[in-house]
Every structure is written in C-alpha cells, then in structure tokens.
Structure 1
C-alpha cells in the first residue's frame, strides 16, 4: 500500500485520490513513495464513530455516487438513482466476477465500478467494442489491455452461465 507520495500522507485516501495524485506527478521528475504492508495500512485507518454517524454538521449524501474524472475540467460526483429493477442473475454474477478482477489487478473492491463495466459490456459484440466503450466512459482509469480482455471474458462467461 502507498503510505505517502513525496512526504504527503495518503492514509485514509480513496484509491481514486491516490491514482489522481500519481497521474498528476510531473513526467520525468523523481518522486518518493513510502510503502507499507497492506495490513498495516488498514490498521492505521481510524474506526468510524459509534453508530456510523458523522460527528460534524456536514450533510452526508446517499453513498451511491460515482466519481467522474475528466481529462479536462474538475472531477464531479454524480448521485446515482436507485433502479427499480433488480440486476439479472447474469448481471449479478458478472458484477461479482468483475469486482474480483478489480481486486486482483488493482487491489480495490468497487461493485459500482464493476456494475458500470458490466453495463458497458453486456451488449457489445467483441472485445474491441467493449474497450472503446470503456475508454469513452472510464478512460481516466487507463485500464491495461490484459485487464480489459479478462473483464470481457468474465462478462461473456456470465452470459452463457459459465461461473
């Protein structure tokens, strides 16, 4: 786990915040990463207050937002509307498999991101169409080709019932 970049602590930061900091580092310049074992990183994150309530007066959202990183312009958080339709068995299995791939490749668990990827891929005819859709909607993640191909495979397997 990355504990700090150039002395700036990242403890408690979300993965997308760390990714943005890394992306914003000047190309060709030396920088310093301080790494720690994953357990130690999670041990240093403070516990939530009792009952999960926020102690400040700030209003909390629904927790169902999506961070949209843009190549030009600021990042925004878009609140997601809860769908009245439940995901199909195929979608549930595909989301689970894609979430497993996110953890395997990137060390994160993000079912919302996995669901978005499944939604983008479920109607695509080939991995190239899927990769284009990912680049269009989630290009700031810069997913490696191998990961994209594995996600395409997981969606395809779920479609035909291969779990």
Structure 2
C-alpha cells in the first residue's frame, strides 16, 4: 500500500488494484485496546485494511479478514466518507470484551489479465542497490523496464525519514492507522514546540486540530520525537 501513493513503482513493490468484489460480514471479539488492524485510506473516503498485527484478534479471524479489504461498516455504522484516523479511533474506543461486527468489501481477485505475457528471449535487467528500476505499462498492455533517477536526498530543513517512520509506527501501535504525511506534519509541529503542553496547544492551532488527538498520545509523540532528536532513540540520518 505504501507504493500506491508514491510517484513510481519499483521492483519488489506490490500494486493493489481494488476492484469491488463480494461483501463479507464477520464478528470479532475485542480482547485488547486495538483489534490488530492497521488502516489506510485512498483520500476519497474509503478505508482499507493495510496490515494485520500477528497474534491479534483480527489475525485470528483470517482468512475472513485480509489485507486490501475495504471497511464499509462497523457495528452498523457507515464508514464510507471517513478518514483512516476516524475509523481507527472508532475501533479503539469500542469497549474491550465487546463484539465488533465488520462489513468488508473483498477486492475482486482476478489478476492483471490484460497484461501481455513475458516474451521469450528477453532477460531481466540488473536491479541496482537503490532499486532505481521501474516498470512502465503501455496502452497496448505491454510493459517495459526503464532506469529512473536516484531518489533525491533529504533537503535541508526536512524531517528525517527515520523520525517520520518512528512517529508513524507509534500511530499504528496506539490507534491502528498509518499515514506518513500525517506523521510528517506532526513532526513539524513537534519541532516548533519546546514542551509537550506547547505541542498540544500548537496542534489545536493548525489544520491537525480536526483529528482531536488525545493529550496522552501527543505527550507520547513529543517524547518520541525528542528522544530521537537528542540521540536517545533511533539514529538520525546525517
């Protein structure tokens, strides 16, 4: 799912083309604060299962629930039009021990049937260490491999990718949603704050106020950001 929102697809990436398939309803017993679903959205009001945490209640419900499924309703509440954060928070706030009723839309699994088969005699090109090879699909169904430029290094003043990834992981663990752009925006607010209380105030003054982050989560986000910046957390790229 990460590759879908990027500007190119590299070898090793998986492309999910979600064609609406059958509806599926199931019930999951909530045994922890989160049921184990990491949720992402497509930016136009549809949320999907991005990951399933091993050993979680959702993991025990496999194969009834799987990555790539669209979450349409939870406990008869319509989730269409909501953001991934809203859906994840809705699941988190359900009482532990309660039964969670999910209505999911399975993707139509029929493969990329319109792509021409690989021609014999054409060898695969060598893939560089930076993965800078990409596949381009033509209108006639054929595919060609092209070399692409090496990704640009981080610009001065940008939040290092390691910090964004760590903040995003905290969102996944605390709520169950994954969004690098959201994590990057939160990092930028943390960088302008001197204390967690100040970060709470600044978040309420930005567009991020609509997320209504719990103070507990903001304190954890600020603490993680501060630890990494001071060298107590994961190493920061120089």
TM-score (norm. length: structure 1): 0.54
Which residue of 2 is the match for residue 152 of structure 1? 222
- Larger relative contact order (CA 8 Å, sep ≥ 6): 2
Q: Which structure shows the bigger proportion of residues in strand conformation?
A: 2
Are 1:114 and 2:183 counterparts?
yes
Distance 2:221 2:212 in 1: 14
Distance 2:156 2:107 in 1: 33
Aligned pairs for 1:55-66 (under 5 A) are: none
CA contact (8 A) 1:90 1:161 kept: no
Distance 2:178 2:155 in 1: 21
- Between Structure 1 and Structure 2, how many residues are aligned? 119
Structure 2 CA distance for partners of 1:152 and 1:135, relative to 1, 3 Å:
same
Q: Which structure shows the bigger proportion of residues in helix conformation?
A: 1
SS across alignment from 1:113: helix
CA contact (8 A) 2:85 2:177 kept: no
TM-score (norm. length: structure 2): 0.39
Are 1:44 and 2:106 counterparts?
yes
Give the superposed CA RMSD: 4.2
Distance 1:87 1:101 in 2: 25
Larger radius of gyration between Structure 1 and Structure 2: 2
Shift of 1:9: 5.2
SS across alignment from 1:44: strand
CA contact (8 A) 1:3 1:10 kept: yes
Which residue of 2 is the match for residue 25 of structure 1? none
The answer for unaligned runs of 5 or more in structure 2 is 1-36, 38-70, 91-98, 116-135, 138-151
Are 1:128 and 2:197 counterparts?
yes
Deviations 1:90-132 (A, max 9, x none): 6322211110111112211100000000011113111111111
The answer for unaligned runs of 5 or more in structure 1 is 23-32, 54-82
Structure 2 CA distance for partners of 1:141 and 1:156, relative to 1, 3 Å:
same
Are 1:35 and 2:101 counterparts?
yes
Aligned pairs for 1:16-95 (under 5 A) are: 16=85, 18=87, 35-36=101-102, 41=104, 44-46=106-108, 50=112, 86=155, 91-95=160-164
CA contact (8 A) 1:3 1:35 kept: no
